[in-house]
Amino acid sequence: MSDKRVLLIVGGGIAAYKALELTRLLRKAGVAVRPILTKAGAEFVTPLSLGSLAEDRVYDDLFSLTDEAEMGHIQLSRSADLVVVAPATADLIAKAAHGLAGDLASTALLATDKPVLMAPAMNVRMWLHPATRRNVATLKADGVRFVGPDDGAMACGEFGPGRLAEPEVIFAAIMDALKGPADRPLAGKRALVTAGPTFEPIDPVRGITNRSSGKQGFAIAEALAQLGAEVTLIAGPVFLPTPRGVTRIDVETARQMLAACQAALPADVGVFVAAVADWRVDEAFGTKLKKEKGGPPALTFVENPDILATVSATGPHRPQLVVGFAAETNDVEMHARAKLSRKGCDWIIANDVTEPGVMGGEDNAVLLVTQEATERWDRAPKDEVARAIARKIAEALA
C-alpha cells in the first residue's frame, strides 16, 4: 500500500478525535494521508495534531490564494486513490447528496472522480431522521461506500445508532476499498459458508449440541469476503460478531441450516464448516422432563439431514466447488478420504480435535484432502488458516 494515498476529510463532532488514530493506522500501513479539516472539525482537533500524524499539510480554506496556487481544490480532490470522510456529519452527508459546494470539503467531494467512503457520526435522532436516511440512500445509489455507524452511548447522553465506527474498523474498510482487481480474485463470486454447532432440542431446556466455537467458519467467511466474494454465512448458535462484508443468517437446528443453505443457492463455492448434529430426538418434549423413580426417560433418535451430501448432489444448483470439514479424533486422513467419497464433495478439510486448543480454541492444524492428493498444513491461528483456504479456493475458481 506504499503507493496509495487517501484524502481524509475530517468533519465536526466529538468523534473527530478518532480521525487522529485513523491517520496513525494509515501511515503505519504505508498509506499517504492528505487531510482536509472543516471549520467545525477544527473545533475538536487541531491542524497541528492532524498534520503531524499525517506528515502532510492540512487544507482547510477553499479561497486560500496559496493553496489554490500550489494545489487547487480540483487537483486536491483527484490526487488520492480514495476520499474518506470521518467523521461524516449530517451536514457533510446532506451537502454531498445534494451537490452543494460551499466550502473546501464539500467542493472536494463534488469535484472528485475517485471512490468515496463515509463513516457517519451524529446524534441518534439525526441519523434516524428521514432526511438523513434519504441522503444516505442517495449517496449509496451514487456508489458511495459507508462504514458504520455503531450503536452505543453518545456524548450527548443518548443511546443508539450514530457512534463513529472504531478507527480499526474504518481502517479495515479503507484497506479493502484500496484493493485492486489482483487483490480481489473472488469478485463476482458467491460463497456459502456454514459455521458453529447445531442445537437439537430434547425439551424446552435441554438439547444435543457440541463444542464447536464457530471461529474457523467465521474466519473463512471473512477471508472469502476480503478476496471480493459475496458471502452468505449460515451460523449455528454462537456468540461471535458478524464478519465485515458478510451476510449472516442465524439458525439453530440441522433442518433449519439445510433450509437456509438451499435458499442461499446458487453459489460458486460452498464451505461447510459447521459441526452439524448427526441425530435428533424423534419428537422434542413440550415440557421439561423431570426425574422419575423409574430412571431416565427412553429417547428415540432419528438421523438429521446430511447437509454436505445434499448440497453435493444438488444438480444444476450444485456449487462449482464443495468443501466439507471433518473433525476427527483418530486416523484423520483415512476418515477424511472416506468422507470425501461418501459425501460426493470436492475437498475435505480435516483436523484432529484431540489436539489441545483446536476445538473451541484459536489455532488449527488441518489436512486438505482431494481426490488427487493430501496436503498437511502446520498449526497456525485460525484466521491464517482461513486466509490460506480462501486463497486455495480463489485458485480453484480462477
The catalytic residues are 156
Helix (H) / strand (E) element for 177: namely helix 167-177
According to the annotation, is 179 in a ligand binding site? no
According to the annotation, is 306 in a ligand binding site? yes
Cβ neighbors of 348 (< 8 A, separation 6 or more) are 323, 324, 325, 326, 336, 337, 339, 340, 368, 369
According to the annotation, is 343 in a ligand binding site? yes
Determine the Cα–Cα distance for residues 15 and 158; give it in Å rounded to an integer.
15
Helix (H) / strand (E) element for 84: namely strand 82-88
According to the annotation, is 18 in a ligand binding site? no
According to the annotation, is 325 in a ligand binding site? yes
Determine the Cα–Cα distance for residues 376 and 371; give it in Å rounded to an integer.
15
Determine the Cα–Cα distance for residues 24 and 326; give it in Å rounded to an integer.
42
Strand ranges inside 183-328, DSSP E = 190-195, 200-201, 207-208, 230-235, 246-250, 269-272, 279-281, 301-303, 321-328
Determine the Cα–Cα distance for residues 113 and 79; give it in Å rounded to an integer.
10
According to the annotation, is 215 in a ligand binding site? no
Long-range contacts (CB closer than 8 Å, 24 or more residues apart) made by 348-352: 348/323, 348/324, 349/323, 349/324, 349/325, 349/389, 350/325, 350/326, 351/325, 351/326, 351/327, 352/328
According to the annotation, is 278 in a ligand binding site? yes
Determine the Cα–Cα distance for residues 89 and 120; give it in Å rounded to an integer.
6
Phi-psi region of 185 (alpha: psi -120 to 50; beta: other; left: phi over 0): alpha
Residue set of the binding site for CTP: 278, 288, 305-308, 325, 339, 343
Residue set of the binding site: 278, 288, 305-308, 325, 339, 343
